[in-house]
Amino acid sequence: MTPSNSFPVVIVTGLSGSGKSTALNVFEDLGFFCIDGLPSEMSPKIADLILKFDSQYRGLALGMDLRQLEFVDGWGQALRDFHELGITPQVLFLEARMNELVRRYATTRRPHPLESKNLGLEQALEQEKELLDPVRNGAALVLDTTNYSIHDLRRVIQTKWSAIEEVGRGMRVHLISFGFKYGVPSEADLVFDLRFLPNPYFDEKLRSLSGMDESIAQYVLGSGVGNEFERRFLDFLSYMLPLYADEGRYRITLALGCTGGRHRSVSVGESVLATLKKKGYTVSIEHRHMELG
């Protein structure tokens, strides 16, 4: 079998406690052959072996982390070995805020792989974050699980699978609409404040709708400042994104915020999504707070 998007190889990794085991369970439910705790130098060989045989599986998901002490040191060579075999692995990197990771460890009472007599939990987490930074920078998709329950994480990964599935050689763009009242997405590379746009919330006939509705999009972007903003903003992104790609960026996450994350940010996000898809970008979107607003 030739490695391609028809049988993708996904590396699931990230900070300890951020949900890797749950993510692997999701991929298993999606029809993937899953292996956890695999040493990095073995992963290309395993992937090549599985790809050589016809399989009833949809893809291969490999879980890697610092439980294998040589993971970071062997990561660069593993990627080179993958490429020599004609395999382009897609890296899903999971993370969460420090206070949430500490809370999760306190709940499970399991030791961190770097924790020792001379290194407490928070120090171990900080060291792990620093060690894994090169892996994170090369990831196709970064997912912050801070505010997710196990069920939320499952739902989000299933929703985002189409984005992971489409990852190719070029840079991919992930859009997040959000509400400032609920917090700015920590994984965002660029944050845009859209609270200056016309707000449908103050129109009782429109308040219950969302930015997914055409009447809301027309209200926000149909005339005046909204129309002019949309034109300039899309021109700006069309100019900016190729410059990031030229610098070798694998991905970029754009966060679009309004007050509640239901109307303005969603409308703009959908407009950006449609435009970037027409331009050939691999692009995905997440309306993080639309149902809360």
Spatial CB neighbours of 115, under 8 Å, sequence gap ≥ 6: 121, 124
Q: Residue 1: pLDDT above 50?
A: no
Write down the pLDDT at residue 153. Answer: 81
When pLDDT is cut at 50, 70 and 90, the band that residue 251 belongs to is confident
Write down the pLDDT at residue 178. Answer: 95
Write down the pLDDT at residue 170. Answer: 59
**Highest mean predicted confidence (pLDDT) among 11-25, 108-122, 237-251:** 11-25
Q: Residue 158: pLDDT above 90?
A: no
When pLDDT is cut at 50, 70 and 90, the band that residue 169 belongs to is very low
Mean pLDDT in residue range 36-52: 86
Q: Residue 50: pLDDT above 90?
A: no
Mean pLDDT in residue range 197-214: 89
178-190: pLDDT as tens digits: 999 999 998 899 9
Q: Residue 243: pLDDT above 80?
A: yes
Mean pLDDT in residue range 94-110: 85
Nearest residue to 159 (alpha-carbon basis) of 290, 1, 259, 264: 290
Mean pLDDT in residue range 199-223: 90
Q: Residue 246: pLDDT above 80?
A: no
Q: Measured between alpha carbons, how far is 48 from 148 in angstroms, rounded to an integer?
A: 34
CA 153, 158, 159 angle in degrees (round to 5)?
100
% helix, strand, coil for the chain, step of 5 = 45, 20, 40
Work out the mean pLDDT of the chain and round it to a whole number: 85
Binding-site entries for ATP: 14-21
Binding-site entries for GTP: 65-68
Write down the pLDDT at residue 166. Answer: 58
When pLDDT is cut at 50, 70 and 90, the band that residue 148 belongs to is confident
Query: Hey, where are the domains in the chain?
Result: 9-169, 174-287
**Domain 9-169, architecture per CATH:** 3-Layer(aba) Sandwich (3.40)
Q: Measured between alpha carbons, how far is 255 from 78 in angstroms, rounded to an integer?
A: 32
Write down the pLDDT at residue 30. Answer: 81
Write down the pLDDT at residue 206. Answer: 86
Binding-site entries: 14-21, 65-68
Query: Structure pTM?
Result: 0.61
Instruction: Work out the percent of the chain whose per-residue pLDDT is above 90.
Output: 32
The DSSP code sequence of 2-24 is --STTS-EEEEEESTTSSHHHHH
